[in-house]
């Protein structure tokens, strides 16, 4: 008797989720009649100027533009939170959002540590993360979740590859690295080293500095002593800014080329052109590319008082792409929306002919840029010469090299 | 070329020099903390935030009012000192009778608020500030290329430290101060206005933080987080030197700057921890710190 009861219980428990999803699909409706989008980002710490409030503003703009253009029948809600660069804070917040707030999709999620934790929760709850902020290639390799996670804007491979190739090919073929001593820095360093070696360059050494080091002059003198032609900065945010500043003060930039591997227009703005002129790096977006990017960026600027870098621009694009997929399928069911998003090319101010690959990597053109001399800049925020447009299929890791178990044949 | 453990001796001299520069910041900041702790028994956690305020004011002075570096070198510490006096009068003075913990919590809260305010106004990426005309360029020391500004940091901070030490240890005012620290009631009975002295001491202590902030402005990016990155190390310096010891904080500040600089060469990954390792060892051997006297 007892046994049978247990058995029925077990069977009904197994059937329940299936029945639930069958019902949802049968109705083809939107859960709670609301599509809820969440922006999880660093609002107050070292990376808050990269994404932060800018990402929230971009998501708001995307929702407004979508409503104006498509007049959707469903309601759209936006929530946001600060993960303080802590994986536990981020994953708890996201769990709460999924469980009790009816959130369907989470975006931004900068900081690789937080992103990997949030990816796990998202997969477990079968929701969607369109990651526009984190750098680690693990999101589409070792920790890939192609049914739930899209890595939308950039990754360490793309950042490393552009300058690793272009700068080495210019004859600046010996490199020394200044690396932030944690997962992100190591992986950026590794990817760049591989790119350098693949293009006939050599790596003379590396120095690992603690995150948020207060002074970089000592590390830079070591880089200088290595006599490498290029100093690669495998760090981000405030660390990059202070490294560049010290390099200038010690006259290192006169003899050696600095390559900030993760640098965006916001960092350049904070440092000024006098200090940064001549630097080369890869960006996923530049506001002053064409009429469309300028139009979008000026609207963004009027709200946020800063030009967008690739993170907010990517967040705008991701939210827009997601909403279009919901509109087209008439549901917020994860599988249906993911299928639609992967089937549709992305064409907006951020990406032209962008495509979400089966491993979850969004492939789009990247830009190898060089910072202008102060005299060449015609207006505020006019900072880059775009040296090269790197086509998506060259910018990102090829599918053949993928370490994603879910798509391996 | 002579080498020590595989590092050319010239490179080593360069690193020593840089250690001295960083040590100068530690010295000025820990001096302020030591003076405040000695007089007020307050563990001033807002020291880092006020150091940042000093740097921010320097930038604001140039950006909005057109006041250059040299004027700000005087004005910013005074402004920070006035802020400090306001903090002391309005909040801190009610806490002297209570446990250290209350002062610590109050000043920590203030630090978070000050940082939050600047973060909200200017974001975290920070502001650039260029080195003043007179100090741009560099000395070629043979073994290294020392920017004039870094040399100036050493000279300026050492002078301020020496002057402070002289005033406290060798003048009548300093004698009053020390007396008021030792026994406030008795000192007051001799007709010395102790609350006034306490207030001015706090103002002066945080003024030193503001001064360090101005010195740092052209050398690092001025941003709301610059203080919190530094303050924990500075606290370790104070603990190693001996809480409240003036000479101790200066000597330890410089010494630890140099040790940290050397660590950056031989074991860069540990450079953020080495100060704390030393702190642990010192606390085990001499709980009152290297220069502290046990009470």
**A157-283+366-391: same fold as A32-154+289-360?**
yes
What are the pLDDT digits (tens) for A203-257? 999 999 988 787 898 899 889 889 999 999 999 888 898 899 889 888 888 889 8
For chain A, the average pLDDT equals 90
The CATH architecture assigned to A32-154+289-360 reads 3-Layer(aba) Sandwich (3.40)
A165 vs B25: CA distance, rounded Å: 40
The rounded percent of chain A whose pLDDT value lies above 70 is 93
pLDDT at A63 over 90: yes
- Residue A10 clears pLDDT 70, i.e. is over it: no
pLDDT at A24: 43
| B293 within a domain of the structure (yes/no) | no
pLDDT value, residue B141: 77
Rounded mean pLDDT, B226-246: 87
Domain A157-283+366-391 matching CATH 2.20.28.10: the answer reads no
| Nearest alpha-carbon partner for B46 in B193, B211, B202 | B202
- The answer to whether the CB of A96 falls within 8 A of the CB of A57 is no
How far apart (Å, rounded) are the C-alpha atoms in residues B56 and B34?
24
In terms of pTM, does the model score above 0.90?
no
Q: Is residue B181 part of a domain?
A: yes
d(CA A170, CA A278): 14
State the Cα–Cα distance between residues A151 and A404, nearest whole angstrom. 13
Chain A contact set for B230 (CB, 8 A) = 214
Question: Is A333 in contact with A300 (CB distance < 8 Å)?
Answer: no
* Cβ distance of B131 and A272 shorter than 8 Å: no
Query: What is the domain-level CATH number for residue B227?
Result: 1.10.3470
Of A165-179, B110-124, B140-154, least confident by mean pLDDT is B140-154
User: Touching check for B14 and chain A: CB below 8 Å?
Assistant: yes
Q: Which pLDDT does position A7 carry in this prediction?
A: 55
Range in B75-79, B184-188, B257-261 the model is least confident about: B184-188
Asked if A242's CB is within 8 angstroms of B220's CB, the reply is yes
**B295: in domain:** no
Q: Please state the rounded mean pLDDT for residues B261-269.
A: 88
Q: Does B90 reach chain A within 8 Å, measured CB to CB?
A: no
CA distance B236 to chain A (A): 15
* Residue in A338, A322, A317 with CA at minimum distance from that of residue A72: A322
Residue of chain B whose alpha carbon sits nearest to that of A48: B124
Pairwise pLDDT comparison (B182 vs A207), residue with the higher score:
A207
Q: Is the pLDDT of residue A9 over 80?
A: no
Whether residues A49 and B124 touch (CB distance < 8 A) is answered with yes
pLDDT of A142 higher than 60: yes
**Cβ pair A238:B15 closer than 8 A:** no
Tokens of B136: 């741009």
Count of CB pairs separated by less than 8 Å, A with B: 107
Whether residue B13 is contained in a domain is answered as: yes
Compare CB distances from B124 to A46, A221, A246 and report the shortest one's residue.
Answer: A46
Which member of A48, A219, A266 has the closest CB to residue B264?
Answer: A219
Q: B293 touching A, CB under 8 A?
A: no
- For testing the chain B interface, which of A42, A183, A218 should be mutated: the one with the most B CBs within 10 Å? A218
Q: What is the pLDDT of residue A21?
A: 44
Scored b (16 or more CB within 10 A) or e, A257-278 reads: bbbbbbbbbbbbbbbbbebbbe
Whether the per-residue pLDDT at B246 is higher than 90: the answer is no
Q: Which residue of A has its CA nearest to B147?
A: A250
Higher pLDDT, B248 or B83: B83
At A346, the pLDDT band (50, 70, 90 cuts) reads very high
Q: What is the pLDDT of residue B172?
A: 92
**For residue range A309-332, what is the model confidence (pLDDT) as tens digits?**
999 999 999 999 999 999 999 999
Q: Which of B14, B127, B229 sits opposite A214 (nearest CB)?
A: B229
CB-count exposure of residue B176 (10 Å: 0-12, 13-18, 19+): middle
**Domain range spanning residue B271?**
8-285
Percent of chain B exceeding pLDDT 70 equals 97
Structure tokens at B229: 């990155």
A243: nearest CA partner in chain B: B220
Q: Average pLDDT in the A342-346 region?
A: 97
* Yes or no, beta carbons of B125 and A269 under 8 Å apart: yes
Residue A192 pLDDT level (bands cut at 50, 70, 90): very high
Using DSSP's 3-state secondary structure scheme, residue A84 falls into coil
Average pLDDT over residues B85-104: 89
What is the pLDDT, as a whole number, of residue A295?
96
Between B210 and A225, whose confidence is greater?
A: B210
Q: Give pLDDT, residue B106.
A: 94
ipTM of the complex in this document:
0.79
In this structure, the number of other CB atoms found within 10 A of the CB of residue A255 comes to 9
Domain ranges, ordered by start, for chain A: 32-154+289-360, 157-283+366-391
The chain B residue lying nearest A182, using CA atoms, is B269
Total domains present in chain B: 1
Q: Which residues of A touch B264 (CB under 8 A)?
A: 209, 218-219, 222
Q: Does residue B285 sit at the A interface (CB-CB below 8 Å)?
A: no
Tell whether B219 lies on the interface with A, counting CB pairs under 8 A: yes
Q: Does residue B106 lie in a domain region?
A: yes
Whether chain A has a CB inside 8 Å of the CB on B262: the answer is no
Mean pLDDT score of chain B: 89
């Amino acid at each position: 008797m007892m046994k049978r009861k247990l058995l029925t219980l077990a069977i009904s428990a197994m059937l329940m989720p299936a029945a639930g999803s069958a019902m949802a699909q049968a109705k083809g409706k939107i859960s709670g009649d609301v599509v809820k989008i969440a922006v999880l980002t660093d609002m107050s710490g070292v990376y808050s100027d990269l994404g932060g409030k800018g990402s929230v503003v971009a998501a708001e703009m995307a929702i407004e533009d979508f409503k104006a253009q498509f007049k959707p029948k469903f309601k759209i809600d936006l929530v946001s939170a600060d993960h303080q660069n802590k994986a536990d804070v981020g994953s708890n917040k996201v769990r709460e959002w999924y469980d009790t707030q009816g959130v369907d999709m989470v975006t931004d999620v900068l900081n690789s540590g937080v992103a990997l934790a949030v990816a796990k929760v998202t997969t477990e709850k079968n929701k969607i993360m369109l990651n526009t902020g984190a750098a680690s290639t693990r999101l589409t390799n070792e920790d890939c979740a192609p049914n739930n996670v899209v890595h939308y804007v950039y990754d360490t491979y793309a950042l490393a590859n552009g300058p690793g190739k272009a700068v080495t090919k210019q004859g600046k073929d010996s490199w020394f690295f200044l690396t932030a001593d944690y997962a992100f820095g190591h992986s950026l360093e590794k990817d760049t080293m591989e790119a350098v070696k693949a293009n006939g360059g050599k790596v003379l050494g590396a120095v690992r500095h603690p995150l948020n080091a207060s002074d970089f002059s000592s590390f830079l003198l070591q880089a200088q002593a290595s006599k490498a032609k290029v100093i690669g900065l495998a760090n981000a945010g405030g660390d990059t800014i202070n490294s560049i500043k010290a390099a200038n003060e010690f006259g290192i930039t006169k003899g050696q080329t600095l390559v900030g591997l993760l640098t965006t227009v916001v960092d350049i703005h904070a440092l000024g052109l006098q200090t940064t002129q001549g630097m080369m790096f890869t960006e996923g977006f530049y506001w002053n590319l064409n009429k469309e990017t300028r139009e979008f960026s000026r609207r963004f600027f009027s709200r946020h008082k800063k030009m967008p870098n690739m993170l907010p621009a990517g967040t705008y694009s991701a939210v827009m792409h997601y909403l279009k997929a919901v509109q087209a399928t008439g549901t917020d069911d994860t599988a249906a929306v993911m299928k639609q998003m992967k089937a549709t090319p992305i064409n907006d101010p951020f990406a032209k002919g962008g495509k979400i690959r089966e491993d979850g990597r969004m492939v789009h053109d990247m830009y190898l840029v060089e910072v202008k001399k102060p005299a060449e800049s015609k207006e505020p925020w006019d900072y880059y010469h775009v040296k090269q447009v790197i086509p998506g299929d060259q910018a990102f890791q090829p599918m053949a090299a993928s370490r994603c178990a879910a798509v391996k044949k | 070329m002579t080498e020590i453990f595989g590092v050319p001796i010239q490179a080593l001299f360069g690193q020593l020099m840089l250690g001295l520069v960083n040590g100068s910041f530690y010295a000025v900041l820990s001096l302020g903390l030591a003076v405040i702790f000695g007089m007020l028994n307050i563990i001033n956690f807002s020291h880092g935030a006020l150091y940042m305020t000093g740097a921010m004011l320097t930038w604001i002075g140039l950006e909005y009012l057109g006041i250059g570096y040299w004027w700000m070198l005087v004005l910013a510490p005074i402004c920070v000192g006035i802020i400090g006096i306001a903090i002391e009068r309005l909040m801190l003075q009610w806490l002297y009778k209570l446990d250290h913990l209350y002062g610590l919590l109050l000043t920590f809260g203030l630090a978070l608020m000050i940082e939050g305010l600047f973060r909200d106004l200017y974001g975290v990426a920070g502001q650039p500030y260029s080195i003043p005309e007179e100090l741009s360029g560099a000395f070629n020391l043979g073994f290294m290329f020392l920017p004039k500004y870094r040399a100036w940091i050493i000279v300026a901070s050492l002078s301020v430290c020496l002057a402070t030490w002289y005033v406290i240890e060798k003048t009548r005012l300093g004698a009053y101060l020390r007396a008021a620290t030792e026994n406030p009631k008795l000192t007051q009975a001799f007709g010395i206005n102790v609350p006034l002295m306490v207030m001015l001491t706090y103002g002066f202590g945080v003024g030193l933080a503001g001064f360090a902030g101005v010195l740092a402005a052209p050398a690092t990016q001025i941003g709301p987080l610059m203080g919190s990155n530094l303050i924990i190390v500075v606290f370790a310096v104070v603990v190693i030197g001996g809480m409240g010891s003036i000479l101790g904080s200066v000597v330890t500040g410089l010494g630890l700057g140099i040790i940290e600089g050397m660590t950056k060469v031989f074991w860069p990954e540990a450079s953020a921890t080495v100060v704390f390792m030393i702190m642990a060892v010192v606390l085990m051997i001499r709980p009152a710190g290297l220069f502290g006297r046990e009470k």
